[in-house]
Chains A and B, each alone.
Chain A
Amino acid sequence: MADTLESPPTTAPAPTLEAPAAAKRFRWLTDRWLATLFVSPALALLVFLSIWPLIRLIWLSFTDYSVTRDVPESFIGFENYVDVLTSPVVQARALTTLIFVVGAVLLQTVLGFAIAFLISRRARGRGALTTLFLIPMMLSPVVVGLFWKFMLDVQFGVVNSFLDSLGLGRVEWLTQQRLALLSLVVVDSWQWTPFIMLIALAGLTAVPKYLYEAAEIDRASEWFKFRRITFPLVWPLLLIAIMFRAIEAFRLFDLVYILTGGGPGGTTETLSYNVYKVAFFGFDTGRAAAYGILMVIVVILAAQLYLRYLDRLQGR
């Protein structure tokens, strides 16, 4: 059919292309300029309140500066670092922190994963259950600390009251040497179990159903399905949650401050709390700076490990 192959209408040649007004107005704004303009204010704020303080902290860590003395600081080299690293108190606090981090992360991982697993097997009410379980996580550490300080009170705390009526006697949760650290672990786990649960649940719901169906056909046992399908597929995500929690637990301060204040006898003093005492009670700013820098190094290394792992996982 000839008429479908119509020749293009011969009109006047197209007028020379001219950029619309808007584009002309912003022509000076090249991509490179735009990127710089958009990124630099954010970076400036971070440099002002994260990097510059850090640089100042590094400088202070090599001096004998103290906030309360009005003499200018003098450079003393690595003395602060040697002091901190060889101090038996710091080593004891590092051990306390390690016990706390391992204990808390372990407890909340086991509990969080268990809850997530149980929820993921329920067909109905999943959303409502998840929302309820997530409440502790959204509370401020101050609120959580106060809740538990009240509940664990020796005299009128509800926990002791229950124990009493069961005939088990009262327990000094926060003032007895060994128990205090355990209480701290329990309270931190109470707050952060939902975090692990949330992430584990995200992993569990992402496991494809057909894998279970295939296993079902092969008459695989529940345990086998868990060990060979569920766990391996959720583990990478769970590991991310664990690493995240470990970093957070390492730098924990507020809960210790509210619950025990480092006591009794320094048994619940984490590294963070010890830095605070050196800086704001000992007024030994230079030493606290060196102490802090060492902590920052640990955190930065852990954070890099965490982020690289995360990146590799998402790149797949």
Chain B
Amino acid sequence: MATHIQPSGIAAEGIAGETARPPVRRRRRIGSAFEIALLALLAVVMLFPVLWMLETAIKDTRDIYAVPAKVFNFGPTLEHLKDVFSPDSPVFSGFQNSVIVATASTIIATVLGVPAAWAYSRFPIPAKKDQLFFILSTRFMPPVVVVIPVFLMFRDLALLDTLQGLILVYAAFNLPFTIWMMKGFIDELPAEYEEAAMLDGYSRFEAFWRVTMPLLIPGIAATAVFALIFSWNEFVFSIFLITDPESRTAPAAIAGLIGGTTINWGLVAASAMVFALPVLLFAFLVRKHLVAGVTLGAVRR
């Protein structure tokens, strides 16, 4: 065996230092603990408002206004949550209207958007890219600006203060998103499936309906859930196009709670919680598509 020339000290740990363990990086372990602590701190800061509102919703009215604020030792109550659903609650009809508006507008946007997305994906349509860009650009327009002419138009068409009008606006508002999102899903499906079906005697339309559509169902579901969330959360069109307290949607009704001189924060918190819960639930269901969803279908990974 040849003698190795090796630095002193290493020989004790192994032959030629080959099996010697590298020095433990203690600094990295400290760094890692620091990172975890930082992450925990950020998580607390980000989640605190949500937890605080949740707590306020189940807190005694007296404890809500306590100074200094009571974080743990408060008297719990379900009073505020009951108030939200009581018959004379100012927000309950808002929730009903929101369900109607969000559902109907999502259905319209999906029914119009899915076939359009398929056509944009499969056919050579003149100036396709420009059309698609244009479609998405409409979604970026400031709502406060768009609402001015829409308000005048709805006044002429007697659509102000009606849910139908709001449904139409929300459908138009969700359509660009539906088209972009669905086009992404359809682009991922090989066109060869349809071609094979057509070789077997289907027409193009039937190939779309019987072959592509069933494969698109998960994508459509995810897209519809996002459209549902967007219309559920929408606020600007709602307050300008509907002034009648009977037909306004939940966001407008909840915002209306802080209009008076005294604010019942317990009721505000409880309504906000009831309002936000379905959104969080739905968002959790579509978490896989969240990146595409929140960028209006423009970014896909």
Chain A interfacial positions (CB closer than 8 Å to B) = 19-20, 22-23, 25-27, 29, 31-32, 34-35, 37-39, 41-43, 45-46, 48-54, 56-57, 60, 67, 111, 114-115, 118-119, 121-122, 129, 131-143, 145-151, 155-156, 158, 161-162, 164-165, 190, 193-195, 198-199, 202, 206, 237, 240-241, 244, 247, 250-251, 253-254, 257-258, 272-273, 275-276, 279-280, 285, 288-289, 291-293, 295-296, 299-300, 302-304, 307-308, 310-311, 314
Contacts and interface: CB of A to CB of B under 8 A. Distances in A.
A240 B229 CA distance: 23
A245 B46 CA distance: 19
Most chain A beta-carbon neighbours within 10 Å: one of B119, B148, B179, B269: B148
Interface in B140-179: 140-146, 148-150, 152-153, 168-169, 171-172, 175-176, 179
7 contacts: A29-B205, A39-B119, A122-B35, A150-B268, A258-B258, A299-B140, A299-B141
Given A50-B146, A199-B295, A253-B144, A26 B203 contact: yes
B240 interface: yes
Interface of B is mostly: helix
Contacts of B116: 38-39, 41-43
Interface of B: 32, 35-36, 38-39, 42-43, 46-47, 49-50, 52-53, 56, 64-69, 108, 112-113, 115-116, 118-120, 123, 125, 129, 133, 135-138, 140-146, 148-150, 152-153, 168-169, 171-172, 175-176, 179, 198, 201-206, 229, 232-236, 240, 251, 254-255, 258, 265, 268-269, 272, 275-276, 279-280, 283-284, 287, 290-291, 294-295, 298-301
Nearest to B233: A140
A296 B176 contact: no
A303 B137 CA distance: 6
Nearest to A54: B149
Nearest to A313: B299
Contacts of B205: 26, 29, 34
A22 B202 contact: yes
Contacts of B66: 156
Contacts of A53: 146, 149-150, 153
B69 A156 contact: yes
A297 to B, nearest CB: 11
B290 A49 contact: no
B168 A49 contact: yes
A131 B46 contact: no
B277 to A, nearest CB: 10
Contact of A57 (B148, B201, B290): B148
Contacts of B203: 22-23, 25-27, 29
B74 to A, nearest CB: 12
A104 to B, nearest CB: 16
Contacts of A67: 152
A195 B294 contact: yes
B125 A39 contact: yes
Given A118-B35, A146-B258, A140 B276 contact: yes
Contact of A41 (B112, B137, B148, B299): B112
A136 B39 contact: no
A288 B235 CA distance: 20
Contacts of B133: 304, 307-308, 311
Nearest to A51: B138
A215 B205 CA distance: 53
A50 B35 CA distance: 47
B272 A129 contact: no
A180 to B, nearest CB: 17
